Structure 1
Amino acid sequence: MKSLPLLCVVLFILSALSGCAKSSHSSAAPRPQVGVITVQPQSVALTRHLVGRLAPYLSANVTARVSGVLTKRVYKEGTDVQAGQVLFEIDPAYYQAQLNNDLGILGEDRATWMNDKVNAARYHQLLPVGSVSQQTVDNADATVRSDAAKVKADEAMVESAKVNLGYTKVTSPIRGIAGQQLVTVGALVGSGTSDAGSGGTLLTTVNDIDQLYVNFTLSAADLLMLREAGARGDVALAEPDRTTVQITLPDGSAYAQLATLDFSDVSVNATTGAVNLRALVPNPQRTILPGMYVTLNVTLGQQRNVFLVPQESLQRDTVGAYVFVADASGKVAREDVAANDSLGTNWIVTTGLTAGDQVIVSGLQGLHEGDPVKSHPWHAPSAAAPQDGSALAAGSRTAVNAH
């Protein structure tokens, strides 16, 4: 009977040893598996995402240059017109009468001039024989000169009257699409030649949209940062005529033609704190129209010595952006990075990484700095996922192991 307590003690000791063995076994659990990429410095396009508005390449107001009653609209609204094509007609009666009157005055003064020239020539012939005085000859010559000046003035009046008569046929100043008629036939239109200096009556507008301008702005801070980066050699800025702009239409589709920067202002707008820029974009099919707001992807040059990391690898907290890397000892380390721009599905990291760093992309759930991990190369899902779904199952197992 005394051996019974001793047996219980032995059984208790064996049970305790078995529990310690289990605890030791559980502490040696396998390391979580993580997918990593090895990053290397490279050069990528330097882009900015901005908003712009389209404007016609040429836009001309068609206005009345003489006063009168609008008698006819010659063109069809919304159609192509050529430079010099007649669009409207103004009642020409008054201007035709003015021209006829000026022509009559010119004819009369020319006749007087010719008669006085004959008289002056006759006086010059009589002067040597003493039939006329020198004073008479001089007076005749002066009269001829006065007549000639008056004829010149009359000719100018005739030309002015012809111009005004020509203005009764209102023509298009440029080639383009003529817009809606703004004044109806029968309305009295004005030339705007009063002392107030106001323009003539606006009849319509002609726009050339075979190519368009896209106007946008770049903040002065961004422009200064780019120039400083260019001076350091971190950025290779493109020449203005090689700076391209990709337009994204309001429906989200990319416009087929690239725009090229053709103007950059030399001063900062005091109201907006930005610099005005403009690009020229071909529009042969006239698929984009003036006044549209579009999204722009402006390629300003090349960024040098940057790193591309998948978007899912970048995390942010109150400190800022960071990534987890697997160090040489197989443990997780945090690297604070600067990543303000993206390219496709990747973030562009400008500082914080070095060549050869193994950035953790998958298996990030529950990871902490200093955790031991087992890494394997990570592949983008589109390139690595088989059609039968086996990759999804494998990814699920990896996630379970990570937890």
Structure 2
Amino acid sequence: MPNQRPLLLIGALCAAMLSLTACSGDPSGRERTAPQVGYVTVAASAVPIAAELGGRTVAYESSEVRPQVNGLIRKRLFTEGSVVRAGQPLFQIDASLYEAAAQQAEANLASAEASAQAADEKAKRFEPLARMQAIAEQDYTDALAAARVARAAVAQNRAALETARINLRYTTIRAPIGGRIGRSLATPGALVSASQAAPLAVIQRVDPIYVDMQQSSAELTALRRSLASGGTRPGSTAVTLRLEDGSNYAVPGTVEFSEATVNEATGTVTLRARFPNPGGLLLPGMFVTALFEQAVEPDAILVPQQAVQRDFDGSAFVYLVGKDDKVARRKVVTTRTAGTDWVVSSGLAAGDRVITQGTGNLKTGMAVEPVPASRPQTIGAAGGSQAKDE
């Protein structure tokens, strides 16, 4: 029929267009493009091996104030909790008996000196008489011996006087070191002795101050082996502190030494660091956390943490931009973190392009459009279309 021919022609044209659209595989009629991914090119670099160890503060110097003579305490001469200087008087012991002993020693010395002088004069008078044989030789020999005995007695009494004077000085108990003194453990009127076990007070010097840290002997052994083999280099001795409240101590310190023995009970080795403490913020016995670079790994490879994925067995892998911009899957071994990166010990080489963005639906062998991760980009789902709607 004549009026049906245009309708048949239009239907045939529509069927042809639908056939072409179905053959293209994209209902929108646009060509599918390779997904864009961001990558970083890895390189070997020196990465410090950071140690974070718990520890406690220890006084730089500590001294227990003890009496060196017996007696009653008459006075306390310091303020508890104050800073004292070395040699400052702290306690006064009753000195009456020691003053009397010193006076007696002086008198004994004077008597011995007088006897020695008389013995010397007698020996001098006997000498010419002995040469003239006016007296027996034995008498002269006895006089010489008596003079020597008298001089020895003088030396003994002089030493006794010095001992008495020392004991008298000890009745004033002085600070052996400078530092902050604690509370008094003895009051006036208390009887003290040189052999007592309890101290009268304790003085601690806290500027500078030590921090004793504990590290596993296994970790320390592994580090020493790595240093010996050349796998790592010695790190810095500078150390920082994190206090109990989470804040950081403003002044850095220095690691000084480690113990030569392992604590059998804990299996740890003690490391000691020294810190300036001019404001007295750090007190002995505080728990702190020390952070320092114990060694440096010279040829470490860092990979951003978001690039590393885990397989079903827990092993790590990354996606690489391989030959012809196709995706390659590579297993890696990650040993530790450094900031926001993983330290990869094996599986990667300098120059590898590791995909860090757009890893959601990647498959091995898939063609991608690699873009440096540092450049602004639009990351789409792998296999998806990035063409803008017309």
Deviation at 1:191, TM superposition (A): 0.7
Correspondence for 1:164 among 139, 164, 167: 167
Correspondence for 1:320 among 303, 315, 322: 315
Does residue 236 (structure 1) correspond to residue 233 (structure 2)? The answer is yes
Deviation at 1:218, TM superposition (A): 2.8
Does residue 349 (structure 1) correspond to residue 352 (structure 2)? The answer is no
Map 1:215-364 onto structure 2 (within 5 A). Answer: 215-238=212-235, 243-316=237-310, 318-364=313-359
Who is 1:142 aligned against? 145
In 2, the alpha carbon distance for the partners of 1:292 and 1:247 equals 12
Correspondence for 1:44 among 40, 43, 47: 47
Q: 1:341 to 1:254 in 2, by over 3 A?
A: farther
Deviation at 1:98, TM superposition (A): 1.7
In 2, the alpha carbon distance for the partners of 1:15 and 1:83 equals 104
Partners of 1:71 and 1:90 within 8 A in 2: yes
Letter in 1 for 2:62: S
- The SS at the match of 2:355 is strand
- The SS at the match of 2:200 is strand
Name the TM-score, length of structure 1 as normaliser: 0.81
In 2, the alpha carbon distance for the partners of 1:139 and 1:181 equals 60
Q: 1:375 to 1:98 in 2, by over 3 A?
A: same
Partners of 1:83 and 1:174 within 8 A in 2: yes
Letter in 2 for 1:264: S
Name the TM-score, length of structure 2 as normaliser: 0.83
In 2, the alpha carbon distance for the partners of 1:173 and 1:310 equals 57
- The SS at the match of 1:181 is coil
Larger gyration radius, structure 1 or structure 2? 2
In 2, the alpha carbon distance for the partners of 1:153 and 1:369 equals 100
- The SS at the match of 2:98 is helix
In 1, the alpha carbon distance for the partners of 2:42 and 2:284 equals 44
Deviation at 1:316, TM superposition (A): 4.0
Letter in 2 for 1:310: P
Who is 1:195 aligned against? none
Deviation at 1:14, TM superposition (A): 8.4
In 2, the alpha carbon distance for the partners of 1:285 and 1:247 equals 15
CA deviations 1:243-268 (Å, max 9, x no partner) are 22122222323322222221123333
Who is 2:95 aligned against? 92
Deviation at 1:22, TM superposition (A): 7.6
Map 1:364-379 onto structure 2 (within 5 A). Answer: 364-365=359-360, 367=362, 373-379=368-374
Q: 1:251 to 1:83 in 2, by over 3 A?
A: same
CA deviations 1:39-66 (Å, max 9, x no partner) are 1111122321211221111111111111
Q: 1:401 to 1:15 in 2, by over 3 A?
A: closer
Query: How many residues were matched structurally?
Result: 372
Letter in 2 for 1:133: A
Does residue 113 (structure 1) correspond to residue 116 (structure 2)? The answer is yes
Partners of 2:307 and 2:356 within 8 A in 1: yes
Which stretch of structure 1 is more off in the superposition, 89-98 or 343-352? 343-352
Deviation at 1:32, TM superposition (A): 4.8
Who is 2:187 aligned against? 184
Who is 1:203 aligned against? 200
Q: 1:281 to 1:190 in 2, by over 3 A?
A: same
Partners of 2:361 and 2:382 within 8 A in 1: no
Q: 1:333 to 1:52 in 2, by over 3 A?
A: farther
Deviation at 1:23, TM superposition (A): 5.3
Correspondence for 1:103 among 103, 106, 123: 106
CA deviations 1:315-343 (Å, max 9, x no partner) are 44543343333333444444333333333
Map 1:20-39 onto structure 2 (within 5 A). Answer: 20-21=22-23, 32-39=35-42
Q: 1:244 to 1:80 in 2, by over 3 A?
A: same
Question: Is the helix fraction higher in 1 or 2?
Answer: 1
Q: Which runs of 5+ in 1 are unaligned?
A: 1-9, 193-198, 385-390
Letter in 1 for 2:94: D
- CA-based RMSD of the aligned residues comes to 3.3
In 1, the alpha carbon distance for the partners of 2:314 and 2:103 equals 87
Deviation at 1:201, TM superposition (A): 3.6
Letter in 2 for 1:261: V
- The SS at the match of 1:296 is strand
Deviation at 1:399, TM superposition (A): 10
In 2, the alpha carbon distance for the partners of 1:53 and 1:144 equals 65
- The SS at the match of 1:279 is strand
Q: Which runs of 5+ in 2 are unaligned?
A: 1-11, 386-390
Q: 1:289 to 1:312 in 2, by over 3 A?
A: farther
In 1, the alpha carbon distance for the partners of 2:272 and 2:361 equals 49
- The SS at the match of 2:289 is strand
Partners of 2:21 and 2:27 within 8 A in 1: no
Which stretch of structure 1 is more off in the superposition, 250-259 or 365-374? 365-374
In 1, the alpha carbon distance for the partners of 2:189 and 2:365 equals 87
Identity level (%): 35
Q: 1:288 to 1:143 in 2, by over 3 A?
A: same
Which stretch of structure 1 is more off in the superposition, 322-331 or 91-100? 322-331
